[in-house]
Amino acid sequence: MSLEKVSLIISFVGIILLLFLSQNLEPKLVKISEINDKMTDSYVKIKGNLTEIRSLEGMQILNINDGTESISAVIYTKANLTKGAELEIQGKVVRYRSSLEIEAQKIKEI
């Protein structure tokens, strides 16, 4: 089999596999108190209560409390959320100025 055919097959199979994984792989569920500097750039899942929403230009900052601690989650789209809602958030842990926050990728109301 020629290199061209092999690379075409691997490209297609790889892309299909990655598409499948991107829809079905989920990050680990962690408590907010467990999130630390070592987890910067890692993907996590948290569950908690939405205690505050702040809308800024092009983003919303959500404050989530899971009973252990609070953390801010940033979303770059407008979401219809109400204070007090129970949310499940998947995203990347990032550092902004002196604190850690989550750049949310998926938000689900529980």
Which residues of the chain form contacts with another protein (CB under 8 A)? Answer: 3-4, 6-8, 10-11, 13-15, 17-19, 21-23, 25-27, 37, 40-43, 90, 95-98, 105
Min dist CB 82 to another protein, Å, is: 26
Min dist CB 19 to another protein, Å, is: 5
Cβ–Cβ < 8 Å for 88, 46: yes
Cβ–Cβ < 8 Å for 61, 54: yes
- For another protein, the closer of residues 83 and 95 by Cβ is 95
- For another protein, the closer of residues 48 and 91 by Cβ is 91
Min dist CB 66 to another protein, Å, is: 19
Min dist CB 24 to another protein, Å, is: 10
- For another protein, the closer of residues 17 and 59 by Cβ is 17
Residue-wise DSSP of the chain: --HHHHHHHHHHHHHHHHHHHHHH--PPB--GGG--GGGTT-EEEEEEEEEEEEEETTEEEEEEE-SS-EEEEEESS-----TT-EEEEEEEEEEETTEEEEEEEEEEE-
- For another protein, the closer of residues 78 and 83 by Cβ is 78
